[in-house]
A and B are shown apart, each in its own frame.
Chain A
């Protein structure tokens, strides 16, 4: 099949449709609005539901109702809107409901700004709402991956009865690339017995609420669930096995980091890259193959180097971990190489 040229956000939207998603509710905010615009007409074509809600709060809670009724339900947001989504994400987790929520990250705190950013890492990976939870987070690095991840996201959400987050960013969302789209599939809303549909006489009514109220084994159930989710670690290694310095980067930053690896290798400097595809569970296992690594450096579009702590944990603090963070601008490959060399020199002394 011929490739199609699509914008990242539109590819996410079309891939959701093809993964059987027939319900979307959300609110406009840059840089994710193309998802909303695309689904406003595309849902009609496939007989699905699109609702532009009065706020992200209404959007995420409407999604919760749709998910409880058995649909493959989606919402998307960015920055301040994604913060408003947190209320509903916490409730989805509490009620064991599958759903997919996209965060097309923008830069900065508060209102921030609309340029690409990776400052939501902590919010995405630590359970951004109230309470005691985490969610699987998938981080696409290309428009093609936007297409490929959507069905995976719904499958994982249903496998664990747990919301799954997709961490895109303004650059991946706004760029256009050629993509192979997956086949169109339908989802049966009666696939799961727990989905509300009306209670037949003599049956026990279905209750969608905090599972704390309904599961005597609540604590063990959740510990087992999170332990099982840890097996979903996904990553891409790029010349990491023999590298002296290993970069760690996801999303748009990982593409610059890969370029830096190529530049470094061309001049004989053994640089490598681990690209987390799941931000949570963090791909700890990826670091086992970095037999030669003297130092690690994350490349991120944020000021505090949010992912560096996870790398320190993954390598158990056996090697130095630093970060190269940018704000507003993308990281530069030559700066990455320069900083990586400086780290190695410092280790050699």
Chain B
């Protein structure tokens, strides 16, 4: 990570202390600068916490309806194929209300880049259970812990593994190593788009101290020690790459 903040990121001050969004937001900015696409990039952000980025990024940005970021981004891409287009959303958008949109954009191999912030809960609404909530995890709608007999735990990345897309990876926004990998994956995803390879998706496991009811350091530990058991890290599809 550079010591100097990227010019295309104004702020991330609205996110809670210890939240992963500010880190992801900055990594997108750094990557855009390194790839020299700041003046071309169009971003589409989901509602709720993701939507703060519309005021933090110096990119032309659309705030989409919840879970419809990907089709919105695809609409932009078709009209302006010269613009890299990045959709930024949470796990609820990507794998719950927008599951159909995610799968079908991958099925069409639509040439957009998707960043999914997976924090295992619905954040802005106050920490309700999500498809990504871990078995036994207490949330506002699973106060006794998520019952795995009633609600499974969904890994969207595993679902996409069999699809003919350009790039698929998962990193954690924890530690220097995690951040370095997260940034490398975002960059590769955008490079695939610039090369015209098709759909790319990077999931970032992200701490949400506010809704996990944990101090920031413990929230990071939760991501690193618990979430990674259900959401393995790494690159899973890298079309034409060395993987």
Taking Cβ atoms with an 8 Å cutoff, the residues of A that contact B are 22-23, 25, 49, 51, 53-55, 57-59, 61-71, 73, 87-88, 91, 95, 189, 196-201, 205-210
Contacts and interface: CB of A to CB of B under 8 A. Distances in A.
A89 to B, nearest CB: 11
A55 B71 CA distance: 11
**Which 7 A-B pairs give the minimum distances between C-beta atoms?**
A65-B75, A61-B68, A69-B79, A209-B63, A196-B60, A65-B72, A54-B104
B48 interface: no
Interface string B24-47: 000000000000001111101000
A65 B65 contact: no
Given A61-B71, A196-B42, A205-B57, A49 B104 contact: no
Contacts of A49: 78-79
B116 interface: no
B73 to A, nearest CB: 6
B74 A65 contact: yes
Contacts of A58: 68, 71, 100-101, 104
B82 to A, nearest CB: 8
Contacts of A88: 65, 68
A64 B72 contact: yes
Contacts of A189: 79-80
A66 B75 contact: yes
Interface in B45-96: 51, 54, 57-65, 68, 71-80, 83
Contact of B76 (A22, A196, A201, A205): A196
27 contacts: A23-B75, A49-B79, A51-B108, A54-B101, A57-B71, A59-B71, A62-B75, A64-B64, A64-B68, A65-B44, A66-B78, A69-B76, A71-B79, A73-B75, A189-B79, A189-B80, A196-B80, A197-B42, A198-B83, A199-B39, A199-B59, A201-B38, A201-B39, A205-B57, A205-B61, A206-B60, A207-B61
B54 A207 contact: yes
A73 B54 CA distance: 24
A209 B62 contact: yes
Contact of A198 (B41, B77, B100): B41
A70 B79 contact: yes
Nearest to B74: A62
A70 B83 CA distance: 13
Contacts of A68: 62, 72, 75-76
Given A62-B72, A65-B71, A198-B41, A208 B100 contact: no
Contacts of B40: 198
B178 to A, nearest CB: 29
Nearest to A71: B79
B47 to A, nearest CB: 10
Nearest to A88: B65
Given A51-B74, A54-B100, A61-B71, A209 B54 contact: yes
B62 A65 contact: yes
Interface residues of B, number: 34
Nearest to A196: B60
Given A57-B68, A58-B68, A207-B61, A198 B78 contact: no
Contact of A199 (B58, B73, B80, B101): B58
A87 B65 contact: yes
Contacts of A198: 39-42, 59-60, 80, 83
A197 B71 contact: no
A58 B83 CA distance: 21
A111 B133 CA distance: 35
Contacts of B73: 65
A66 B68 contact: no
Contacts of A207: 54, 60-63
B90 to A, nearest CB: 17
A127 to B, nearest CB: 16
Contacts of B61: 196, 205-209
Nearest to B64: A61
Contacts of B77: 65
Contacts of A62: 71-72, 74-75
A66 B71 CA distance: 10
A220 B101 CA distance: 36
Contacts of B79: 22-23, 49, 65-66, 69-71, 73, 189
Nearest to B57: A205
Given A54-B104, A65-B64, 19 more contacts: A54-B103, A55-B100, A57-B71, A62-B74, A63-B75, A66-B78, A68-B76, A73-B79, A87-B68, A88-B68, A197-B60, A197-B80, A198-B59, A198-B60, A199-B58, A205-B58, A205-B59, A207-B60, A207-B63
A209 B18 CA distance: 27
